[in-house]
Amino acid sequence: MVSNTLDFDVAFTTEPLTRENIFTLKEQIYTSKANYEELEKKIKALRSSISSENLTPETKKNNLILGICLWISGKQDEAFEVLNTLQSNKVACYFLGKCYQELEEYEKALDFFGRSKQANEDEFEIQVDIAETQRLSGDNQGAIKLIQKLSKGHDDEAGLHYQWAHCLDNLGEYEEALTHYNRALEINPEHPNSLFRLAYYYDLNGDDEKALEYYKKCVENAPLYTNAMINLGLMYEDNDDYEKAVSCYYAVLQSYPNHQTARLFLKDAEAGLNMRYDDDKVKKQDQETEVLNIPISDFELSVRSKNCLERMNIITLADLTKVTEYELLSYKNFGETSLTEIKNILNQKGLRLGQAVESEIFIDTDVETGIHDNNLLKSIAEIELSDDCRKTIEEMGIETISDLVAKTETELLEQDSFTQAYVDEINNQLDKLGLQLHN
């Protein structure tokens, strides 16, 4: 894993400058947004320190560092302008080659890579860059020829086998390409490019399980492999897992705040997430409506219970949720046995008596008084009432404030031993909570 601590001194003070230190710094830069901002500060400081007049050795060195920093930050055009004044410098030539390669000007890239390696004809890393540029330009056969030559002394280099595999991939020789991708991973199990190409291969061939496995491995390492993270997000979207897709695109934007593709896909994923929530809500409402519309006649009830419900014009389960336990017991011939039957039916469907009435109270309370629903969930024991008043309330089966505000004053006063003093006491306490008994 790459350290998150930036060290510009290691990369640029050590003489001579080495590509290894610079590439390590680049990896560190893209592990976080904060590191990228540090690079921007470094670029600003370098610009202000460089004189526009005579190029002293110190100015040349700062120009070289500025050009490399601009390349690291992804500003290839600006990097080219700075580095182009230092073509006699081997390191500058190398990074000019990288700029041209990324700008897809492959002939110029090959020219500058060639100049960079003139001082050391056997410099392996630059030869790999040349092979990569040949591949990118479409000269896969030329690239393979160079790679095969290099492999005689460097068969244990993961990057070389990756380039070899990619060339074969481009030529349609997929089985042999897979051999070299896997060889690269044997040498370096975290080689990001090989992990990505294998993930992409399985993705194209419809093997989602394997593709997800390799995409996940690819994005576990620093710095973030943006293409892998974006493709992983797309796969999650295909599986309707919009939460994970959104997190993938956010991760890209944390390291690359201006990544337009990630911004676009994030917007689409968030829209899909909202749509799914809406669909789930509609489905849930449809299911609830379907249950509520079940007729009472579908259930086995005693003749007395059926007759009582018919006389009360209670036809469906929805009708039952609109009446309270007290209202049922107040009806002639409706006793505890019938009440138990009704409760059992509602319990089977996840419903209860008075449920619809309570829902209306929640809505009224929220809109008209702004009181949080938490007050309605409190138990009767949490409000200040006299012992006699609380005991009388509890004997009615009222356990929460929600149960209490579902009652009217008339319903309370119809109970034996329930006095107007108790009602006044209750109203006083409910008023403190911004609540009131049902009208």
Which is more confident, 180 or 276? 180
| Average pLDDT of the residues of the chain | 82
Q: Using one digit for the tens of pLDDT, what is the confidence trace for 401-410?
A: 877 887 888 8
Closest CA relative to residue 148, chosen from 126, 133, 165: 165
State mean pLDDT over 398-426. Answer: 83
Label residue 369 by pLDDT band (50, 70, 90).
very low
Which is more confident, 112 or 366? 112
Given a cut of 70, whether residue 94 has pLDDT beyond it is: yes
3-state secondary structure of 379: strand
pTM of this structure:
0.57
Domain 296-348 sits in CATH 1.10.150.20: yes
Q: State the DSSP string of 2-49.
A: --SS--HHHHHTSSS--HHHHHHHHHHHTT-HHHHHHHHHHHHHHHHH
Given a cut of 70, whether residue 282 has pLDDT beyond it is: no
State mean pLDDT over 362-378. Answer: 47
Domain 1-121 sits in CATH 1.25.40: yes
**pLDDT given at position 431:** 81
What ranges in 293-386 are assigned the alpha helix state H?
303-311, 317-321, 325-329, 336-348, 355-364, 374-377
Domain with CATH 1.25.40 in the chain: 1-121
Domain with CATH 1.10.150.20 in the chain: 296-348, 367-432
- The rounded distance, in Å, linking the Cα atoms of 189 and 183 is 9
Q: Using one digit for the tens of pLDDT, what is the confidence trace for 129-145?
A: 999 999 999 999 999 99
Label residue 337 by pLDDT band (50, 70, 90).
confident
Assigned token pair, 238? 């295909």
**pLDDT given at position 403:** 79
- The rounded distance, in Å, linking the Cα atoms of 131 and 160 is 9
**Mean pLDDT lowest among 51-60, 156-165, 199-208:** 51-60
Given a cut of 80, whether residue 85 has pLDDT beyond it is: yes
**pLDDT given at position 368:** 37
Domain covering 367-432: architecture: Orthogonal Bundle (1.10)
3-state secondary structure of 400: strand
**pLDDT given at position 364:** 39
**CA-based radius of gyration for the chain:** 37
**Mean pLDDT lowest among 90-99, 230-239, 269-278:** 269-278
- The rounded distance, in Å, linking the Cα atoms of 49 and 43 is 10
**pLDDT given at position 68:** 93
% residues pLDDT > 70 (the chain): 87
State mean pLDDT over 199-225. Answer: 86
Given a cut of 70, whether residue 335 has pLDDT beyond it is: yes
What ranges in 84-225 are assigned the alpha helix state H?
90-102, 106-116, 124-137, 140-151, 158-170, 174-187, 192-204, 208-219
* Cis? peptide before 223, omega within 30° of 0: yes
State mean pLDDT over 195-205. Answer: 90
Q: Does residue 91 contact residue 64 with C-beta atoms inside 8 Å?
A: yes
**pLDDT given at position 277:** 58
**pLDDT given at position 54:** 61
